[in-house]
């Protein structure tokens, strides 16, 4: 069976490393590749799939567009994909999509809870894209009654804000400026590029109990480096690899029907990142 991660850009993706490690650990002779698909090429790619394909992982820029593309014809759209307004997982049978799901949301919950067992009454998400929506909803799943979205362009955050506000707990959602608005709550989630993390932003996150940096490459980002230096004072750092591994394990299970071997997949991801860093 064949699976792949689709995106643009895609060369940096660790998903093939994780899923292939999972296949080896589970004794499955499956294939998993990275395929570069431009934002307007997803429909054509899906139309060309045959019965040998079982699963697709989606990253930028396809998470939101995929849901609208497959929803009229797919057998099942999960509640969490509808809630987030985005799908990062497509399961196929006989070349057709039968399930559109979002594993970012439960993956983010699992990533935080693996490293932090304290209360979450409020949180801040830096950014306003599809990942901001999924992680904002994850904060609500963790107990947040209010979520602040701080974005470089507030207009871009409106779709994410609407998605988070749809959570059954009916959280209060506020859109603010990434440049100068305060960071509030027990958890701050960064979905913005490392280049957007200036000294002022890092300083505003310094007192937050949990810093959740969804990037894993480049690493460490300024926010991650600051949080890592502060772990002795009690600040918790949740990294992008944590999120990637937990959501990939869920994808693995949806694609294969086999329990995801988390330790093997995490170890493969850690080794791949260490190799990249050593290579400069």
**DSSP label at residue 2:** E
Q: Is the peptide bond before 184 cis (omega within 30 degrees of 0)?
A: no
Nearest to 169 by CA among 191, 201, 200, 137: 137
Q: What's the average model confidence in pLDDT over 67-79?
A: 84
Encode pLDDT of 124-165 as tens digits. 999 999 899 999 999 999 999 999 999 998 898 999 999 999
CATH topology of domain 2-102+243-278: Rossmann fold (3.40.50)
Ranges of H-type helices in the chain: 15-26, 42-47, 63-70, 79-84, 104-115, 130-141, 158-165, 199-204, 222-229, 240-256, 262-278
Helix or strand or coil: residue 15?
helix
Q: Is the peptide bond before 123 cis (omega within 30 degrees of 0)?
A: no
Q: pTM for the whole thing?
A: 0.94
pLDDT at position 71 is 74
| CATH number for domain 105-238, candidates 3.30.230.10, 3.40.50.620, 3.30.420.10, 3.40.50.720 | 3.40.50.720
pLDDT at position 224 is 97
Kindly give, in sequence order, each residue whose CB lies less than 8 Å from that of residue 241, ignoring residues fewer than 6 positions away: 14, 216, 266, 269, 270, 273
| Two tokens, residue 37 | 């698909």
Q: What's the average model confidence in pLDDT over 44-51?
A: 95
> Catalytic site residues?
63
pLDDT at 280 over 80: no
pLDDT at 48 over 90: yes
pLDDT at position 74 is 75
Indicate where the chain has its CATH 3.40.50.720 domain(s): 105-238
Q: What one-character-per-residue DSSP string does 94-107 give?
A: TTEEEEEE--HHHH
Residue 8: other Cβ atoms inside 10 A: 16
Encode pLDDT of 162-180 as tens digits. 999 999 999 999 999 999 9
């Amino acid at each position: 069976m064949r699976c792949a991660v689709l995106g643009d850009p895609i060369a940096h993706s660790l998903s093939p490393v994780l899923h292939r490690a999972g296949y080896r650990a589970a004794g499955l002779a499956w294939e998993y590749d990275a395929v570069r698909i431009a934002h307007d090429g997803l429909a054509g790619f899906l139309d060309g799939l045959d019965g040998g394909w079982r699963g697709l992982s989606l990253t930028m820029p396809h998470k939101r567009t995929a849901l609208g593309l497959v929803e009229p014809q797919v057998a099942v759209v999960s509640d969490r994909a509808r809630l987030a307004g985005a799908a990062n997982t497509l399961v196929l049978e006989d070349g057709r999509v039968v399930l559109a799901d979002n594993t970012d949301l439960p993956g983010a919950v699992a990533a935080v809870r693996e490293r932090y067992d304290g209360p979450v009454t409020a949180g801040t998400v830096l950014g306003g894209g599809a990942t901001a929506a999924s992680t904002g909803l994850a904060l609500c799943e963790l107990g947040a009654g209010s979520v602040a979205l701080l974005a470089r362009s507030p207009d871009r955050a409106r779709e994410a804000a609407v998605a988070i506000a749809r959570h059954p707990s009916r959280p209060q959602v506020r859109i603010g400026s990434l440049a100068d608005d305060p960071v509030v709550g027990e958890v701050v989630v960064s979905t913005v590029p490392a280049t957007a993390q200036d000294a002022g932003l890092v300083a505003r996150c310094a007192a937050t109990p949990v810093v959740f940096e969804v990037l894993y490459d480049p690493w460490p980002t300024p926010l991650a480096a600051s949080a890592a230096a502060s772990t002795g004072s009690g600040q918790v750092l949740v990294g992008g690899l944590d999120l990637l591994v937990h959501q990939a394990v869920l994808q693995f299970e949806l694609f294969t029907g086999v329990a995801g071997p988390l330790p093997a997949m995490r170890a493969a991801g850690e080794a791949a990142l260490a190799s990249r860093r050593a290579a400069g």
